[in-house]
Structure 1
Amino acid sequence: MTSDNTTQTPHKQQDLRLLMRLLPFITPYKKMVFGAALALILTAGVSLALGQGIRLLIDQGFDSADPSRLNQAMLVLAIITFLMAAGTFTRFYLVSWLGERVSNDVRLAVFNHLLTLDPYYFEVNRSGEINARLTTDTTLLQSIIGSSISMALRSSLTFVGGLVMMLITNPKLALIVLASVPLIIFPMILYGRRVRKLSRLSQDRVADIGTYAGEIVQNIKVVQSFTREAEETTAFGIEVEKAFNIAKKRILQRSILIVVAMTLVFTGLSSMIWVGAQDVASGHISSGELAAFVFYALMVAMAVATISEVYGELQRAAGATERLLELLSEEAEISSPEVPVALANGPLALTFEGVSFSYPSRLDQTALENITFSVAAGETVAIVGPSGAGKSTLFELLQRFYDPKDGHIKVAGHNIKQLNPQDLRGHLGLVPQQPTLFSADVAHNIRYGDPSATQKQIEQVAQKAYADEFIDRLPEGYGSYLGEQGVRLSGGQRQRIAIARAMLKNPSILLLDEATSALDANSEHKVQAALQELMRGRTTLIIAHRLATVMHADRIMVFNEGKLEAQGKHEDLIVTSPLYKRLSELQFNH
């Protein structure tokens, strides 16, 4: 998988063929594409016809003494102008619609795919980098698909059509213009490669800025507590300057590309006009033919200028497409079997058989080593031990966020690899030590346990979790906005919201990870009573540092340095486990 370090290494050169990989997102809208293509061809054709209208206007209007011919020429120009306006309106609307639709479809596809990836991917990739791809890159695609590609196609059509009409109108003058084409194409290819490379690097630097800023804002209290505002301002300024310096190089290359192309084009155009004026003076061509030829030459020159400018935008789009496709190509390590086993409702037994595990990002450190134990259906088992003993890792493996290196984990007698991960997790209810709340109201955060729950059910579980007493005091009650990560609530209040959420989920297996650690003595007593009600009739695993909170457990397991050292009742462990005895003496003696 791609780590965050990849943004620091050089990227292999890509070409515009990368954009072809967006076709699966465009093909569902064939009618809109067909309509836009017709409008594009119409406007290109009408633009070319405008040159002949100019020739008629000069030769049969201005140079003729017959007023009717002038009127006819003006009518032709009016019709051409109307058709061009109608075609341009249709093309602009349809192409802009496609740009918005496709970019949103890509954004949705990337987000949906991200939800399928396992936690390891998010350990080694920065959230700011992922967010930048999901927002900035898809917005860039919208601009490219909705504007730049249309401009490039239109300019390509007018370029080819203009050259053809120039050859038809006056082959000798056309050859003068064609002689400059290779001189234009070469610098476009040369500088286009540089722009593409710098565009990708520029997007990576912008992602770095977003990541850095997001981290500082998220931890603003820590920054201000340590009075590091000045240092962070300086550090952020350095990141901004890095992005600006790369952007300057990209802009310089694009500017050179445009200037070189335009200079060469208009040099050839000036030479052609000089030769054409000589032919008019000698009577070889009419004034109308020269005017039409100049019109086509200008059309070709403008088309080349537009293509040279849009080419840089397309290079940026290729870089954005590459970054998005990298996300879509990531494969989850955790997958569902073709024919998953279904779990029954009600309390479920679980078993760990010789489980060993190291986190993928820390393979040299063993988190669990040869762990074997069983928990009967409806049994309450406490897990104790010092920090880093592997207690929380048990919960992550049970939820199948990772697969063990060795051994098996079974639920209701089935290896969890035989289960659909979503079905497995649907039977598990977790109350973590540091609960996560979303930037929404109270009801949404509780309803996360069961999206189909009614308001009455939400209020019932809030009462059982003793959360209603502070919810009722909030400005809008259950409709009160909690801020990012529930910042407007205290730690104990967030914990009670999380407990209510788990109650609403009504899980078969309850996982409590220091669920009452953030509560004061009065709230802890109330919530313990609520948890006792919640645990009744369920299989429950409780991680706890305070032994007093797990004295009621059917069994206590003692973990140390990733190993299961002992298990039994409190009275037995005091005798059989030196570690448990030491923990007990430290806590109860003080």
Structure 2
Amino acid sequence: MIGFLMPYRWRVLGALIALIFTASVTLSMGQGLRLLIDQGFGEAAATGLDEAIGIFMAMVVLLAIGTFARFYLVSWIGERVSADLRRAVYSHVIELHPGFFETNLSGEIQSRITTDTTLLQTVIGSSVSMALRNVLIFIGGIVLLFITNPKLTGIVLLSVPLVIMPIIFFGRHVRTLSRTSQDKVAVFGGFVGESLKNIKIVQAFNHQQRDRETFTDQVEVAFEIAVKRITYRAWLTAIVITLVFAAMGYMVWVGGHDVIAGRISAGELAAFIFYAMMVALSVGVISEVYSDLQRAAGAAERLLELMTAENLIQAPALPQTLPARVIGNVEFDDISFFYPSRPDSAAIDHFSLKLPAGSSLALVGSSGAGKSTIVDLLLRFYDVQKGQIRLDGVDICELAPQELRRHIAIVPQQPTLFSGTIIENIRFGRPDASDDDVRAAAGAAYADEFIQKLPHGYDSFVGESGVRLSGGQRQRIAIARAVLKNPSILLLDEATSALDAESEYKVQQALEHLMKDRTSIVVAHRLATVVNVDKIAVLDHGQLVDTGSHQQLLASSSLYARWASLQFGDKEIEKAG
């Protein structure tokens, strides 16, 4: 955490000064207590009492001022560092390659960014302050104990190792259990997010009871781990209290006999008891805070895992640049690709294809043939293990990912909308677009008509993932977003699959207009949507088995002809013949 504290080192220094000041004032009260007892109740008692009370009130005022400064500065630092940490973790995570999220649940990542940083904020803004303050009081108290009475101090020091050992022993277990507990909380947090996000499917399949039981099991596991952690903390607290106050009792017994024998004054014993109490209380607080610090260490480990997660898709040290005007020549040169989770099975196997600028290509094939993988590779969500993908003659691996994606727009099969308004979702394609540009894009996607009928028009709230809109409406918003971006390369993943017949016709017309003179790649399951593209590529198990127009493939590819027969009927085959 040092790196996050360094920008605020002057505030940290101010907090440390306030801590030292308040600890010093607190310890000074012991001497005030000694003067009060020895002088305030002796000869000239009234004068001595007045002076002692005056000094005491002055110390109270100084302590209040120091406490205000300490609390404000430490709390400010805690909140600031927490905010910086959240921003840093999110900024790193959002740049990670999509493959990272195949093995890390978004709900768990969200828990780390929110819950774990909140825990760290509490520790930095409160627990660390308490720990430092009580460490200062402990050290200062020991020094003043020696000054006041070395013999009694020896009794106190004998108990210190006995107190420190259980703090260290139990603290290690608390740290391990805290890490495990936070992991379990993140798991059921992710489960909650997933089930609520897909609430319609959950209820449609009457899965509520099963999800309720699963969630209960996860909560109980987290509870059992938390109970173990609490048990260790409870034992730690009980042992520390027993040892500390046993030493205190013995020290008071010895000191009391010294007062009776006249070896020390009552004021000295009172001051010594005060310092011993301060030392004892500081040890108790440190033992409590130590457990909190161990929990924070567990949270910091989880956050550091995210911060240090390697991004497999990096911009090269000296990235190349695309031509000033990107025309959209795309070339797949003998590429092969293996998913990290399936290193023995090629998702794309020696795929080669040239797509001239302004032309359209359809990728067809059965599920798992590699169609969507080609789209992901072109967007550089993954890097190929062999071969090259070139845009206008430049290997895309030599480009910064942001530079590459600036020229590409995608309309996925399942359109993704974000919580917010319609105009915000369309403007996602080009954040600096004017309202008129947004409306023009919506009109081109045949979305303007239904948007105008909504209660708040373009300012209508779409709900989480666009839940307030129909599937066809969400699809047209996604198409409008791509229209607004005005890309050199357009990627369509069955972009009309969610539309009714009338809307599909309208959007198909819009897409054909959008695809005109623009390099377009269409992932197709329904052959009727791609009969007019310039070239169709037939994929099977990651391999390119044939290319050509619709009519050419009906004659040359038995695989394509079989799909056409299933979708269109035998009359298409006869027409081709």
Work out whether residues 494 and 523 of structure 2, in 8 Å CA contact, stay in contact via their aligned partners in 1. yes
Deviation of 1:469 (Å): 1.4
Q: Give the SS at the match of 1:449.
A: coil
The answer for the alignment partner of 2:146 in structure 1 is: 167
Deviation of 1:364 (Å): 2.7
Equivalent in 58, 63, 71 of residue 50 of structure 2: 71
The answer for the alignment partner of 2:541 in structure 1 is: 561
The answer for the alignment partner of 2:75 in structure 1 is: 96
The answer for the alignment partner of 1:11 in structure 2 is: none
Q: Give the SS at the match of 1:383.
A: strand
Deviation of 1:202 (Å): 0.7
The answer for the alignment partner of 1:239 in structure 2 is: 218
Deviation of 1:66 (Å): 4.0
Equivalent in 170, 184, 197 of residue 176 of structure 2: 197
Residue 292, structure 1, aligned to residue 280, structure 2 = no
The answer for the alignment partner of 2:398 in structure 1 is: 418
Q: Distance in 2 between matches of 1:465 and 1:404?
A: 34
Q: Distance in 2 between matches of 1:435 and 1:516?
A: 10
Work out whether residues 332 and 351 of structure 2, in 8 Å CA contact, stay in contact via their aligned partners in 1. yes
1:465-480 equivalences in 2 (<5 Å)? 465-480=445-460
The answer for the alignment partner of 1:387 in structure 2 is: 367
Residue 144, structure 1, aligned to residue 123, structure 2 = yes
Residue 264, structure 1, aligned to residue 243, structure 2 = yes
1:495 corresponds to which letter in structure 2? Q
Deviation of 1:112 (Å): 0.4
Work out whether residues 103 and 139 of structure 1, in 8 Å CA contact, stay in contact via their aligned partners in 2. yes
Equivalent in 288, 300, 304 of residue 309 of structure 1: 288
Work out whether residues 532 and 550 of structure 2, in 8 Å CA contact, stay in contact via their aligned partners in 1. no
The answer for the alignment partner of 1:488 in structure 2 is: 468
Q: Distance in 1 between matches of 2:223 and 2:362?
A: 55
Q: Give the SS at the match of 1:361.
A: coil
2:193 corresponds to which letter in structure 1? G
The answer for the alignment partner of 2:382 in structure 1 is: 402
- Deviation per CA, 1:422-460: give whole Å up to 9, x if none: 110110110111111101111111010001011111111
1:179 corresponds to which letter in structure 2? L
Work out whether residues 43 and 84 of structure 1, in 8 Å CA contact, stay in contact via their aligned partners in 2. yes
Residue 571, structure 1, aligned to residue 551, structure 2 = yes
The answer for the alignment partner of 1:45 in structure 2 is: 24
Work out whether residues 326 and 392 of structure 2, in 8 Å CA contact, stay in contact via their aligned partners in 1. no
- Structure 1 spans left out of the alignment, 5+ residues: 1-21
The answer for the alignment partner of 2:97 in structure 1 is: 118
Please identify runs of 4+ aligned residues in structure 1 that moved more than 4 A.
Answer: none
Number of residue pairs matched by the alignment: 569
The answer for the alignment partner of 2:301 in structure 1 is: 322
1:117 corresponds to which letter in structure 2? L
2:4 corresponds to which letter in structure 1? F
- Deviation per CA, 1:353-381: give whole Å up to 9, x if none: 11111211122332111100100011111
The answer for the alignment partner of 1:366 in structure 2 is: 346
Q: Distance in 2 between matches of 1:332 and 1:66?
A: 75
The answer for the alignment partner of 1:276 in structure 2 is: 255
Q: Distance in 1 between matches of 2:27 and 2:516?
A: 81
Q: Distance in 2 between matches of 1:408 and 1:346?
A: 18
Equivalent in 528, 547, 557 of residue 548 of structure 1: 528
- Deviation per CA, 1:164-203: give whole Å up to 9, x if none: 1011001111111111111101111111111111111111
Work out whether residues 262 and 305 of structure 1, in 8 Å CA contact, stay in contact via their aligned partners in 2. yes
Q: Give the SS at the match of 1:510.
A: strand
Residue 185, structure 1, aligned to residue 164, structure 2 = yes
Deviation of 1:346 (Å): 4.2
2:397 corresponds to which letter in structure 1? K
Work out whether residues 124 and 361 of structure 1, in 8 Å CA contact, stay in contact via their aligned partners in 2. no
2:506 corresponds to which letter in structure 1? K
Q: Distance in 2 between matches of 1:346 and 1:163?
A: 74
Q: Give the SS at the match of 2:341.
A: helix
More displaced 10-residue stretch of structure 1: 211-220 or 102-111: 211-220
Q: Give the SS at the match of 2:291.
A: helix
Equivalent in 176, 186, 195 of residue 207 of structure 1: 186
Work out whether residues 14 and 73 of structure 2, in 8 Å CA contact, stay in contact via their aligned partners in 1. yes
Deviation of 1:27 (Å): 0.5
**Aligned-pair identity (%):** 55
Residue 539, structure 1, aligned to residue 496, structure 2 = no
Q: Distance in 2 between matches of 1:518 and 1:347?
A: 30
Work out whether residues 106 and 190 of structure 2, in 8 Å CA contact, stay in contact via their aligned partners in 1. yes
Work out whether residues 537 and 546 of structure 2, in 8 Å CA contact, stay in contact via their aligned partners in 1. yes
The answer for the alignment partner of 1:8 in structure 2 is: none
Equivalent in 411, 418, 434 of residue 438 of structure 1: 418
- Deviation per CA, 1:489-538: give whole Å up to 9, x if none: 11111100000000111101111110111111100111111112211221
Residue 450, structure 1, aligned to residue 467, structure 2 = no
Work out whether residues 347 and 537 of structure 1, in 8 Å CA contact, stay in contact via their aligned partners in 2. no
Give the TM-score normalised by structure 1. Answer: 0.95
Q: Give the SS at the match of 2:50.
A: helix
- Deviation per CA, 1:121-162: give whole Å up to 9, x if none: 111111121111111110000000000000000000000100
2:453 corresponds to which letter in structure 1? R
Q: Give the SS at the match of 2:351.
A: strand
Equivalent in 307, 313, 316 of residue 337 of structure 1: 316
2:360 corresponds to which letter in structure 1? T
Q: 1:535 to 1:346 in 2, by over 3 A?
A: farther
Q: Distance in 2 between matches of 1:524 and 1:266?
A: 81
1:133 corresponds to which letter in structure 2? R
Q: Distance in 2 between matches of 1:80 and 1:127?
A: 53
The answer for the alignment partner of 1:253 in structure 2 is: 232
1:536 corresponds to which letter in structure 2? K
CA RMSD of aligned residues (A): 1.1
2:413 corresponds to which letter in structure 1? Q
